Amino acid sequence: MSDPIELPTTPAFVLVRPQMGENIGAAARAMWNFGLDRMRIVAPRDGWPNQNAVAMASGAGRLLDEARLTDDLAGAINDCTFVYATTARSRDLTKPVVSPEEAMRQAAAKIADGQRVAVLFGPERAGLENEDIARANAIISVPVNPTFPSLNLAQCVLLVAYEWMRATAEITHETVEMAGTVWADAVEIEHLANHYQDRMEEAGFFFPDHKAQSMRTNLRNMWSRMPLTRADVQMLHGMLRQLMRWKTRDDETR
Amino acid sequence: MSDPIELPTTPAFVLVRPQMGENIGAAARAMWNFGLDRMRIVAPRDGWPNQNAVAMASGAGRLLDEARLTDDLAGAINDCTFVYATTARSRDLTKPVVSPEEAMRQAAAKIADGQRVAVLFGPERAGLENEDIARANAIISVPVNPTFPSLNLAQCVLLVAYEWMRATAEITHETVEMAGTVWADAVEIEHLANHYQDRMEEAGFFFPDHKAQSMRTNLRNMWSRMPLTRADVQMLHGMLRQLMRWKTRDDETR
């Protein structure tokens, strides 16, 4: 029985009658990539412990060491208050069916509310039986290509674990790696634009006359459209100056 | 050059210098699970075609048959207008960094807007080089456990493909498989509740007197909390009737 004071903060993932040790190890890696480490294993075909699982799990081996092993599904979920079964939708049994995203959204809410949640994954070849699904509260169905539904066990585990992460982690959706520089401000852009305009003017670029002003404006517009950093601006100044030095050297040799 | 009239409706996935054929095949399967089939391969270590890739791809073999093969990255993305590089964040290069979710949300918008989008995935062991990343517009960084970032090539491909599906498909997030029945309406629930109350009354269940009414109400409340289908109601009626028949048979033998 679980200690009511120490509620789990993550769902348990239950591998039901898994067949190959490599797949169990791969499932452990998939879980731990997204911070999940509560694994339960029901009647593994090749017994336990399983050296193939250990070898494949590698750095996620702790999950195997700590996994709860049971002979049957009922034992694996006896302390749970809400169980999801990951399977293709079954037309035989009346059951709520949710997407992985919705399941993990719900799971996060239930866990925050003190529930104890588990997710079942079936044997590689046949998947969960109706007798397994009957013991779940709801089905998770991954929205795969109906003409090619071919996720393996570790991939199923990965996707549900990923959705748990999405439902609970503070994800930075968009940022910029500044690599030690900062954004150029408008003054720096203006200075860069003037440097280029002056040289291009001297070079006779804004030609013919009736197009000159629109060309100047288009160029000025381009600088402001570009997400330039101070480092970019310095490099662009330097490039133009070097071209001028090169020109001067060649002018001197003529 | 791409035909401007027939714009692609999905992103191209580019495997840059992939090492093992099995991983290329697994990547094809991962893509096709989520309806993506535009694969490009840059300088595969073991040449092309690759029988290990074919064997692993199995039902997704068409992606390999149709994959564009190039010697270098530039050739693989020459028709693209926006390129994402899937990699751990690089501290050396200034670059926008987005989550897989944000990347595919953006990609869907860009593709709808006529852009041609590609996503790069690096070699299994080392990942993409800075020289590869420099040719991308932005980085996709998968928010994995910082103490155990161990996604393999096919898993990376799977997650980005999954996010493409999430960004573009009409997903049913929540439904109920009715398995041929319908929800019981309030009349049917009332009838069921009355059947059970009548029998429990006869059985002397609502006892002692001072608790009887709250017990009746709790039972009536339970029926309405349960998501009962017509089939459930019929089964519950049938169970109670069968118990009565059994009781009657035993009464008759006494």
Give the minimum alpha-carbon distance from A39 to chain B in angstroms, rounded to a whole number. 16
B104 and B36 housed in the same domain:
yes
Dist CA A54 CA A24 (whole Å): 9
B238 and B127 housed in the same domain:
no
Q: Tens of pLDDT along A70-123?
A: 999 999 999 999 999 999 877 789 999 999 999 999 999 999 999 999 999 999
CB atoms closer than 10 angstroms to residue A73: 25
Judged on CB neighbours under 10 Å (0-12, 13-18, 19+), B88 is: middle
The structure tokens listed for B147 are 């103490």
Is the Cβ of B109 closer than 8 Å to some Cβ of chain A? Answer: no
Dist CA B33 CA B150 (whole Å): 21
By CA distance, what is A178's nearest residue in B? B94
What is residue B6's predicted lDDT score, i.e. its pLDDT? 84
Range of the domain at B193: 186-253
Contacts of B167 (CB under 8 A, 6+ apart): B101, B104, B105, B107, B108
B131 and B224 housed in the same domain:
no
Q: What is the mean pLDDT of chain A?
A: 96
What is residue B254's predicted lDDT score, i.e. its pLDDT? 73
By CA distance, what is B89's nearest residue in A? A177
Residue A148: φ, ψ to 5°: -150, 65
- Whether A91 maps to a domain, the answer reads yes
Regions of chain B with pLDDT less than 50 = none
- Whether A99 maps to a domain, the answer reads yes
A134 and A228 housed in the same domain:
no
A122 and A242 housed in the same domain:
no
What is residue B3's predicted lDDT score, i.e. its pLDDT? 53
* Facing A91 at nearest CB: one of B32, B139, B179: B179
Q: Tens of pLDDT along A26-71?
A: 999 999 999 999 999 999 999 999 999 999 999 999 999 999 999 9
The structure tokens listed for B151 are 């996604």
- Whether B74 maps to a domain, the answer reads yes
Is it the case that residue A3 has pLDDT exceeding 70? no
Q: Are residues B210 and B165 in contact, defined by beta-carbon separation less than 8 angstroms?
A: no
Q: Which of A133, A167, A201 is the last residue of a domain?
A: A167
Which chain A residues contact residue B57 at CB under 8 A? none
Cα A212 vs. chain centroid, distance in angstroms?
49
Give bridge partners of residue B121 from the DSSP assignment.
B15, B86
- Whether B28 maps to a domain, the answer reads yes
Q: Provide the ipTM.
A: 0.93
A198 and A233 housed in the same domain:
yes
Q: Are residues B132 and B120 in contact, defined by beta-carbon separation less than 8 angstroms?
A: yes
- Judged by CB atoms closer than 8 Å, whether chains meet at A171 and B99 is answered as yes
- The confidence band for A1, taking pLDDT boundaries of 50, 70 and 90, is low
A194 and A127 housed in the same domain:
no
Q: What is the mean pLDDT of residues A159-173?
A: 97
A147 and A44 housed in the same domain:
yes
A222 and A193 housed in the same domain:
yes
Instruction: Map tokens 């420099």 to a residue.
Output: B134
DSSP letters, B139-184, are EE-----TT-----HHHHHHHHHHHHHHHHS----EEEE-TT--B-
CB atoms closer than 10 angstroms to residue A86: 26
Cα A153 vs. chain centroid, distance in angstroms?
18
Is it the case that residue A159 has pLDDT exceeding 70? yes
Q: Is the dihedral of CA A192, A198, A199, A201 positive or negative?
A: positive
What is residue A2's predicted lDDT score, i.e. its pLDDT? 53
Dist CA A176 CA B138 (whole Å): 9
- Domain total of chain A: 2
Q: What is the mean pLDDT of residues A218-239?
A: 97
- Judged by CB atoms closer than 8 Å, whether chains meet at B176 and A34 is answered as no
Type of residue found at B201: E
B32 and B146 housed in the same domain:
yes
Helix, strand, coil in percent for chain B, rounding step 5: 50, 15, 35
Q: Is the dihedral of CA A100, A104, A110, A115 positive or negative?
A: positive
Rounded (10°) CA dihedral A143, A144, A145, A146 = -70
- Whether B237 maps to a domain, the answer reads yes
b/e sequence A1-23, b meaning 16+ C-beta within 10 Å = eeeeeeeeebbbbbbbbbbbbbb
The structure tokens listed for A101 are 């995203």
A47 and A94 housed in the same domain:
yes
Dist CA B39 CA B31 (whole Å): 9
Q: Can you give the length of chain B in residues?
A: 254
pTM check: above 0.80: yes
- Whether B2 maps to a domain, the answer reads no
What is residue B237's predicted lDDT score, i.e. its pLDDT? 98
B244 and B199 housed in the same domain:
yes
By CA distance, what is A169's nearest residue in B? B143
- Whether A178 maps to a domain, the answer reads no
- Whether A242 maps to a domain, the answer reads yes
Which CATH number is B131's domain given? Answer: 3.40.1280.10
